[in-house]
């Protein structure tokens, strides 16, 4: 009998309708068998740990990522897999963060949630939960089928650090444009083994320090000098993510070049990420990105913004010097980029 630890952080999946207040409220997820009786037939030994109190995913912070990572570390040898129930709004950030925090992971960590509460008639919560548990317990040749941090949602299993939420209304809330799905749930579970990380025999290493001295600046037509300067040179910022046009382009007006140059000279790391939902940065391909290359801006290749942010926070938390951070950032650490 496979043993699975369910970590309930909060989110829509754990809500039930309160007839008195006419609102959705969190319920004790240890009552899971009352809401999803089908789970009893899966032949799994389940243990539930809940955040006290459960939180809306919009309130998710790095200390909560650390709480999840520590729970996995503490119980790593007791369980065959882990399912993290989480609100969908920031799920991709948490999945990306955990992928970096949990080094040498050899067991499944599956994040899931729902667009409708578990008690609703048309809910997607039951299928998402049941299939996530099945994936977390699945083995091939005596080894876990998916020994990495993933998101399961609406019949698709995605690599966590390749995923972004793109729709607030459809059950198909997530997408992984730059990387294939790891598994598809139909009549049978179909795993795409060639795209899944291989299990490792190395010991799990957990990092819980995530430095948040990071800023994100989205470039847009009409951006002003004052606005760009206020973000790029804001006090206490050690790294900046530039969300640029297309393949990594920005305006190349003299004042833009000057701000980027001064930011780099101030010892701040600048990362170039495309605003596009898919594709990659090809820095230096166009004249409008050559000045970034010359200023020492590093390419984020095909990273999602969520992965770029959490990867920077992870590396900054290691207290590496800037050269080491730049070197490590441009390496594929957990399958998060193609470079």
Q: Is the pLDDT of residue 18 over 80?
A: no
Number of domains in the chain: 2
**Residue 336 maps to a domain:** no
Residues 251 and 195 in one domain: no
Closest CA to 211 of 306, 316, 311: 316
Q: What is the pLDDT of residues 59-82, one digit of tens each?
A: 999 999 999 999 999 999 999 999
Whether residue 225 is found in the same domain as residue 127? no
CB atoms within 10 A of CB 164: 22
Instruction: For residue 157, tell me if it sits in a domain.
Output: yes
Query: What is the Cα–Cα distance from 305 to 32, expressed in whole angstroms?
Result: 34
Question: Quick one: pLDDT at residue 321?
Answer: 95
Residue 166 included in any domain: yes
pLDDT per residue as tens digits for the range 111-138: 999 998 887 889 898 999 999 999 999 9
Q: What would the mean pLDDT of 274-294 be, rounded to a whole number?
A: 89
- Cβ-in-10-Å burial (0-12, 13-18, 19+) of 334 comes to buried
pLDDT of residue 44: 95
Dist CA 224 CA 40 (whole Å): 59
d(CA 190, CA 208): 33
The answer to the question of residue 202 being in a domain is: yes
Same domain, 179 and 70: yes
Question: Domain of 15?
Answer: 3-206
Proportion of the chain above pLDDT 70, given as a percent: 98
- Assign 52 a pLDDT band (cuts: 50, 70, 90): confident
**End-to-end alpha carbon distance in the chain:** 41
Closest CA to 80 of 41, 128, 29, 138: 138
Do residues 313 and 201 share a domain? no
Does one domain contain both 29 and 175? yes
Report the predicted TM-score, pTM, of the whole model to 2 decimal places.
0.94
CATH at 281 = 3.40.50.40
Assess whether 119 and 166 both reside in one domain. yes
On whether residue 36 sits in a domain, the answer given is yes
Pairwise CA distance, residues 112 & 163, whole Å: 12
For the record, the structure tokens of 24 come out as 């959705």
The two tokens of residue 170 are: 């459809």
Co-location of 72 and 189 in the same domain:
yes
Predicted confidence band at 269 (pLDDT cuts at 50, 70, 90)?
A: very high
- What pLDDT, on the 0 to 100 scale, is given for residue 53? 87
Strand order in the sheet with 298-299: 214-218, 239-244, 269-274, 298-299
* Residues 189 and 62 grouped into a single domain: yes
Same domain (yes/no): 246, 200: no
Task: Please give the structure tokens belonging to residue 9.
Answer: 């952080």
Q: Which of 110-124, 257-271, 290-304, 324-338 has the lowest mean pLDDT?
A: 110-124
One domain, residues 180 and 227: no
Which residue among 143, 171, 206 closes a domain? 206
pLDDT band at 39 (very low <50, low <70, confident <90, very high): confident
- Show which of 182, 206, 230 is a domain's final residue: 206
Backbone angles phi, psi at 43, to 5 degrees: 70, 30
The answer on 219 and 201 residing in a single domain is: no
* CA angle (307, 162, 286) in 5-degree steps: 75
Nearest to 4 by CA among 119, 138, 189: 138
* pLDDT score for 77: 96
- Contacts of 228 by beta carbon, 8 Å cutoff, 6+ apart: 217, 256, 259
Work out the angle at residue 77's Cα, subtended by the Cα atoms of residues 72 and 82, and round it to the nearest 5 degrees: 40
Domain boundary among 206, 237, 269: 206
Whether residue 31 has pLDDT greater than 80: no
| Cis amide prior to 127 (ω within 30 degrees) | no
Residue 201: the pLDDT is 86
Report, as residue numbers or ranges, the catalytic residues: 12
- Residue 335 belongs to some domain of the structure: no
Task: Among 31-35, 37-41, 79-83, 289-293, name the most confident range.
Answer: 79-83
Q: What percent of the chain has pLDDT over 90?
A: 77
The string of DSSP letters for 260-303 reads HHHHHHTT-EEEEEESSSSS---TTSSHHHHHHHHHTPEE-TT-
Mean pLDDT, all residues of the chain: 93
Instruction: Give the range among 51-55, 145-149, 285-289, 293-297 with minimum mean pLDDT.
Output: 285-289
CATH number of residue 51's parent domain = 3.40.50.1170
Q: Residue 22: inside a domain, yes or no?
A: yes
* pLDDT tens digits along 181-236: 999 999 999 999 999 999 888 999 999 999 999 999 999 999 999 999 999 999 99
Q: Has residue 334 been placed in a domain? A: no
| pLDDT interval class at 11 (50, 70, 90) | confident
Range with lowest mean pLDDT among 6-10, 20-24, 34-38, 170-174: 20-24
pLDDT value, residue 298: 95
Predicted local confidence at residue 4, as pLDDT? 97
- 192 and 218: one domain? no
Provide mean pLDDT across the span 90-98. Answer: 98
Q: Answer with the residue of higher pLDDT: 102 or 52.
A: 102
How far, rounded to the nearest angstrom, does the alpha carbon of residue 263 sit from its chain's CA centroid? 28
């Amino acid at each position: 009998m496979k043993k699975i630890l369910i970590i309930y952080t909060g989110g829509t999946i754990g809500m039930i309708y309160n007839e008195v207040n006419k609102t959705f409220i969190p319920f004790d997820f240890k009552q899971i068998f009352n809401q999803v009786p089908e789970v009893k037939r899966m032949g799994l030994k389940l243990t539930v740990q809940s955040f006290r109190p459960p939180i809306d995913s919009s309130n998710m912070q790095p200390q909560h990522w650390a709480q999840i990572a520590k729970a996995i570390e503490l119980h790593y040898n007791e369980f065959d897999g882990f399912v993290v129930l989480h609100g969908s709004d920031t799920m991709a950030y948490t999945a990306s963060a955990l992928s970096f925090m949990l080094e040498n992971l050899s067991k499944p960590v599956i994040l899931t949630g729902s667009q409708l509460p578990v008690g609703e008639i048309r809910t997607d919560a039951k299928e998402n939960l049941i299939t996530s548990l099945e994936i977390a317990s699945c083995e091939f040749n005596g080894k876990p089928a998916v020994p990495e941090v993933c998101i399961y949602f609406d019949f698709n299993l995605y690599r966590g650090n390749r995923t972004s939420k793109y729709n607030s209304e459809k059950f198909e809330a997530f997408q992984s444009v730059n990387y294939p799905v790891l598994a598809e749930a139909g009549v049978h579970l179909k795993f795409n083994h060639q795209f899944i990380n291989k299990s490792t025999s190395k010991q799990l290493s957990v990092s819980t320090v995530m430095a948040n001295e990071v800023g994100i600046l989205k470039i847009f037509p009409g951006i002003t000098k004052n606005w760009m300067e206020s973000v790029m040179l804001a006090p206490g910022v050690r790294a900046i993510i530039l969300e640029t046009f297309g393949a990594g382009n920005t305006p190349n007006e003299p004042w833009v070049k000057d701000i980027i140059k001064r930011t780099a000279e101030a010892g701040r790391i600048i990362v170039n990420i495309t605003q596009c939902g898919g594709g990659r940065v090809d820095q230096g391909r166009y004249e409008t990105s050559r000045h970034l290359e010359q200023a020492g801006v590093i390419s984020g290749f095909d990273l999602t913004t969520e992965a770029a942010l959490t990867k920077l926070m992870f590396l900054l938390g290691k207290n590496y010097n800037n050269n080491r951070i730049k070197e490590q950032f441009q390496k594929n650490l957990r399958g998060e980029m193609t470079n």
